[in-house]
Structure 1
Amino acid sequence: MSEQTAAVKNGWMNRALNTIEVIGNKLPDPAVLFALLMVIVWGLSWLFSGMTFTEIDPRSGQQVQIVNLLSGDALTLFASNIVTTFVNFPPLGVVLVAMLGLGVAEYTGFINAGLRSILAVTPKMLLTPVLIAVGVLSHVAVDAGYVLVIPLGAVIFYAAGRHPLAGIAAAFAGVSGGFSATFFVPSSLDPLLAGMTQVSAQLLDPTVTINPLNNYIFTTASTFLIVLVGWFLTDKVIEPRLQATKVDGDTSQMVKMDALSAQERKGLRAAVISMFVVAALLALSIVLPTVTPWAAPAEQVVEGMNPLLVAASPLMKSIVTLIFVFFLIPGIVYGYVAGTVQTHRDVIKGMSNAMSGMGYYIVMAFFCALFLYAFNQSNLGVLLALKGANALKAMGLPLAMTLVGIVFLSGLVNLVVGSASAKWALIGAIMVPMLMELGISPDLTQAAYRVGDSSTNIITPLLPYFPLIVVFCQKYVKNSGIGTLVALMLPYSIAMLVLWTAFLLGFWALDIPLGLGASYEYIPNR
C-alpha cells in the first residue's frame, strides 16, 4: 500500500465517508424508502393543507396552496393514475429501450471487443479525464449519458484493472454533476433556462431580452474545471478509498484485457463498418432534404439555436431510438461475423438477458414514480423553494454573497425538486428581478443558479436516475446501496459547489464574457 493510499484510507475524510455510507446503507431498500417518503408526503400535505401561505407561485400568480393528498378526490385521482404515472415515468422508457440495444451488443461480445480494442491504444492515465469529458458531452443527447456513459465507465475501468465503482463515480460526475457544463456544443437546457430568465426579468423590465446562449462561454469553460476536479478526486481520493471494497459481482461477462483473436477482429471491423453505414444514412437524411424532417418546426426554435439541437426536434426526441439502433445493428453484425450468434433466437436472448437484469430497477422506478407524482401534486416543493428564495432576499447580503447564496439555495432545493426548469421557474421569478434592482444582470443570476443546480444532482436520491446508478453499482459490489453512492459522490458535490462558485466569481471579477449578448450589470432601458 502506497503512502498516499494509506493516507486516504486512514484520513478524516475517509472515516466521514465510511460513516455516511454505513448510515445510508442502513436505510430501507430504495424501493421501500420511496414508498415511505410518499407516505410522509401524504401526511405533510394533510398537515399543511389547512394553512395559509403568503408566497406567490409565479407560474399561476396565486398564493401557494398545499394540496391535501389524503382527501377523497386526491386519493381516487392517485389510484386511477397509478398505471399512467408509472408507464410515463420519463427514465423508465429511456432505460429499457436503450438497454435492449445495449443488451444485444453486450451479449454478442461487440462491446467487449470494442472496449478491448480502444483500451489497447489509450493511455491508462487519461481514462479518467476522457470519461468525464464524454459524460459532459453526452448532455447533447439529453439523458443518454445515464444509460450509456455511466455503465460503460464501470466496464472501462474494470477492464483497465481499476475499480469499476470509480468508473461509475467519474462518469456520474461528468454526466450529472457537470449537467450545466457544455463541451462546445450547446445543450437543449440553454434556451429553456434563458426563456424562463427572460420571463422573470420582464416582470421588472418588459424591454429585457435574453440570448439563449447567454451562459455559453462560462458553461464551456466550466467543462475544463469539471474534468480537472473530477480527475483529481477520482484518482487521488475515490479510487484509493475503494481499494478495500471487494468486487463481488458476476464478473464472468466483464471485459478482460486479452488480445483480440482473428475472428474477433474480423467481427469488430464488420460491426464498425455497419455503424458508419447507419451514421451515413442518418447524415444523408439530415443533409439531403431541403427541409430535414429531423429539425424542429421554425416556431419552436429560439433565435440562435440549431433547429436540430432544440429539445422539441425529432432528432433529440429520437436519441434513445438511435442508441438502440446504433448498438443493435453492430451487435448483430459482430455476432454473426465473429460466430457468437448463430440464429435470430440468440439476438432475442441477448435482449431478454438485458431485461432480466432490469427487474430490480423496474421495482424501484415504480415507487420512485409514485413518490415524485405525490410530491409534485402536493406543492410542498414549490413552498420550500419560494420560502428559501424569500429568506435569501430578506437577508440583504452583499452582492457577491447573494450570488453565493443563490448557488447554495439552488443546490439545497435541488435535493427535493429534481427538474432544473421547474426550480428555475420558481426561484428565478424572485431572484432575477431582485438582483436586477441591485444592478446584477439576469445572465449572471442564471449562471449562479446553474452552478448550484448541477453540483448536488449527484447526491440526491430523488434524482430520477439515481436508482439506476445504484443498480449499476450493485452489478459489481452486491451490497451497494444509497449510502454507497452518496458517499462516492459527496466529495465531487462539495468540491464542485466551492470551486465552481469561485470560478463564477472569478469570471465576474475579471469581466470575462458569460456568453453571447450577456452582461454582468443590469442597466435599465439598455
Structure 2
Amino acid sequence: MDKATPKITLLDRFLNLVERAGNKLPDPAILFLVLMLIVWVFSALLAPIDFGEIDPRTGEKLRIQNLLSGAQLASFLSNMIQVFINFPPLGVVLLAMLGVGVAEHSGYINAGLKYLLGFTPASLLTPILILVAIVSHTAADAGYVLVIPLGGVIFYAAGRHPMAGIAATFAGVSGGFSANFIPSAIDPLLQSFTQSAAQIIDPSVELNPLNNIFFTGLSSLVVIGVGWYLTDRVIEPRLYRSAPVDEQLEDVPKMEELQPKEKAAFKLATSVMLVFLVALVVWAWPETSSMRDGAGQLTTSAAPLMRSIVPLIFLVFWLPGVVFGFASGNYTEMKHVVGSMSKSMGSMSHYIVMAFFCALFIDAFTKSNIGALTALKGANFLQSLQLPGQLTIVGIIVLSAFVNLLVGSASAKWALISPIFVPMLMQLGISPDLTQAAYRVGDSVSNIITPLLPYFPLVVIFCQRYVKSTGIGTLVSIMLPYTLVLLVVWTIFLLIYWTLGIPLGLQSTYEYIAP
C-alpha cells in the first residue's frame, strides 16, 4: 500500500505534533484511571465552595460532591461491579461482536465485501461509506461496533489505507451524529428537553418531535461532502506518510474471486437474513405489535424495537454467518461457530480492560458534578455577553462543542444547558427549534476528538488492527481536521439555512413571538 507522497505540509507538521503529544499519554486504561484520581482530588477541593449555580434538573443549588469522603469511597467500592457491568457500551459492543465475529470468521462478510466492491465505483467508495455511517444512527450505537470496523475492512480490500476508511466512517457515525434524514430516538429525546425549557417562560409552547428533521437531513450532504474531501485529499495521503500499514496482518479478509460454492452459500445465507428481516417487519408492523411502545410508536426510546436493536444486530449477522459457514464448508460442526465467537471475544480483551476504567471515571465525573458546573458556567458567560442573535447561535455551537469534550451524553448536556439557552434566546425572539438545531451541530462535531467518548477506545482498537502503534494521539490527529472543518462549514450552513428561511422540520419556526 505504499504510495508516492508529496512533501510534508504545514498541516502535517501540526497534526504530527498533536499525534506525538497525544501518544505520550499513557495507555487509555491507565489514562482513565489517572483522570478518575484527578476528579477525586478536585472534587474534594471544590466541594466546600458555593458557586451560586442552580441545577436545572433539580431546582436546587449545584454543589460539587466530595468523592474522597468516607461515604463516597464506600459507595465507590460497593458499586464498582454494577458500574462496570452497567457501562452502556460494554454490553452493546460484546453482544454485537459475538454476531459479527461469526459472520466474519465464517467468511460471510468477506463474500459480501467482494460483491460490494464489484458494483461500487472506486471513486464513490468514500461518500457511500459515510452515507451508510450516517444512516446507522437510526440503529442506536450500531455504527460504532459495525460500520466503523467495516470501513477499515472495505478500504483495505479496495487497496486503500484502512485507517482512512475507519476515519471516514467515524466522522459519519459520530462527527455527523446530528446529520440524518431518518428519524431516530434522539429526535424526541432532545425535543422533550427543549419543550420543557421553553415552557419555563411560555407554558403554551408545544414542539414537534421532528422539529429539526429537514435540517438534519440536508446536513447529511454537508457531512458527506466534508468527509469525502478530507478523507481523500487530506487524511489518506497523510496516513501513507505517517502510519504505513503493518506488513503482517491477521484476520483481515482477502479479496480473491468468489468460488461457485461460496457464491451459492452467500446467496443462501443472505436469503436467510432477508427472511429474518421480513419476519421482523411483519411482527412490528401492526399497530398492536408488542414491539411498539404504549402509544403505538416504533421509534421512541421506550419502544421494545429500539431497545432490541443490538440483539437484532447479533441475530442479523449470526444467522447468515452460521448458514454461510456450513454451506461453504468452512464450518462442519457447531463447535466451529463457538470457536468464531470465542475468537471475536479474544480481540476485545484490551477493550474490556479499558471499559472497566472508563466506566469508573465517567461515573466519578458524573457524580462529582464538575462537568455540570462547567456547562452551566459556560452558558451563563455566553448569556452575559448579550450578543446579537446570529453571534449567539454561533456561541452556542462553539460552547456545545467544548462542553461535549467533558460531558459525552447528548441528552445529559441538553438537560443541563437547555433551561438556560432556550429561554434566553426566546427573549431575543429566536425559536426553541433553532436553538436546538444549533446545539445539535456543536454536540456532533467534537465527538470524534474526545477520548471521553465511551467508544473512542474501541476505535483505537480497530485502528491497531492495521497499525499496531496507533494511540490516542494518532486517532485525535486523524480526526481533528474533520472536527475543525465541520465546525466551520456546518455553522455557516446553519446560518445560510436560517437566512433562506428553509423549514427546520415539522411545525418548526425561526422566530418566537410571545403571546
Alignment TM-score > 0.5, same fold: yes
Question: Are 1:430 and 2:415 an aligned pair?
Answer: no
- Residues 219-234 of structure 1 mapped to structure 2, 5 A cutoff: 219-234=216-231
State the shift of 1:318 in Å: 0.7
CA distance in 2, matches of 1:25, 1:249: 22
Aligned to 1:304: none
Question: Are 1:448 and 2:428 an aligned pair?
Answer: no
State the shift of 1:265 in Å: 0.8
Aligned to 1:279: 277
CA contact (8 A) 1:58 1:429 kept: yes
Q: Which segments of 5 or more consecutive residues in structure 2 lack a partner in the other structure?
A: none
What's the CA shift string for 1:199-251, capped at 9, x where partnerless? 11111111111111111110000001100000000000000101122211752
CA contact (8 A) 2:2 2:240 kept: no
Q: Which segments of 5 or more consecutive residues in structure 1 lack a partner in the other structure?
A: 302-306
- Residues 151-162 of structure 1 mapped to structure 2, 5 A cutoff: 151-162=149-160
Determine helix, strand or coil for the equivalent of 1:63: coil
Aligned to 2:123: 125
Across the aligned residues of Structure 1 and Structure 2, the Cα RMSD in angstroms comes to: 1.4
Match of 1:194 among 183, 191, 195: 191
Q: 253-262 vs 137-146, which deviates more?
A: 253-262
Question: Are 1:397 and 2:394 an aligned pair?
Answer: no
CA contact (8 A) 1:55 1:64 kept: yes
CA contact (8 A) 2:371 2:407 kept: yes
- Residues 100-139 of structure 1 mapped to structure 2, 5 A cutoff: 100-139=98-137
State the shift of 1:256 in Å: 2.2
State the shift of 1:118 in Å: 1.2
Tell me the amino acid that sits aligned with residue 441 of structure 1: S
CA distance in 1, matches of 2:346, 2:106: 16
State the shift of 1:406 in Å: 0.2
With over 3 angstroms needed to count, the CA separation of the structure-2 counterparts of 1:336 and 1:4, relative to structure 1, is closer
Tell me the amino acid that sits aligned with residue 102 of structure 2: V
CA contact (8 A) 2:292 2:305 kept: yes
Match of 1:294 among 269, 291, 315: 291
State the shift of 1:296 in Å: 1.1
Match of 2:257 among 256, 259, 267: 259
Aligned to 2:509: 519
CA contact (8 A) 2:290 2:304 kept: yes
Aligned to 1:44: 42
- Residues 331-346 of structure 1 mapped to structure 2, 5 A cutoff: 331-346=321-336
Determine helix, strand or coil for the equivalent of 1:291: coil
State the shift of 1:253 in Å: 2.4
Normalised to the residue count of structure 2, the TM-score between the two structures is 0.98
CA distance in 1, matches of 2:173, 2:248: 26
Tell me the amino acid that sits aligned with residue 18 of structure 1: N
Consecutive aligned runs of 4 or more in structure 1 exceeding 6 Å deviation: 1-4
State the shift of 1:3 in Å: 12
CA distance in 1, matches of 2:171, 2:111: 26
CA distance in 2, matches of 1:56, 1:140: 34
Tell me the amino acid that sits aligned with residue 166 of structure 2: I
Aligned to 2:84: 86
Question: Are 1:352 and 2:333 an aligned pair?
Answer: no
Number of equivalences = 514
Determine helix, strand or coil for the equivalent of 2:505: coil
Determine helix, strand or coil for the equivalent of 1:324: helix
CA distance in 2, matches of 1:331, 1:441: 49
What's the CA shift string for 1:7-26, capped at 9, x where partnerless? xx511111111110111011
CA distance in 2, matches of 1:333, 1:3: 39
CA contact (8 A) 1:69 1:378 kept: yes
Aligned to 1:498: 488
Determine helix, strand or coil for the equivalent of 1:52: coil
State the shift of 1:252 in Å: 3.9
CA distance in 2, matches of 1:284, 1:387: 50
Tell me the amino acid that sits aligned with residue 196 of structure 2: V
Aligned to 1:209: 206
CA distance in 1, matches of 2:191, 2:240: 44
CA distance in 2, matches of 1:437, 1:250: 61
CA contact (8 A) 1:249 1:474 kept: no
Aligned to 1:481: 471
CA contact (8 A) 1:116 1:255 kept: no
Equivalent pairs: percent with the same residue?
58
CA contact (8 A) 2:114 2:255 kept: yes
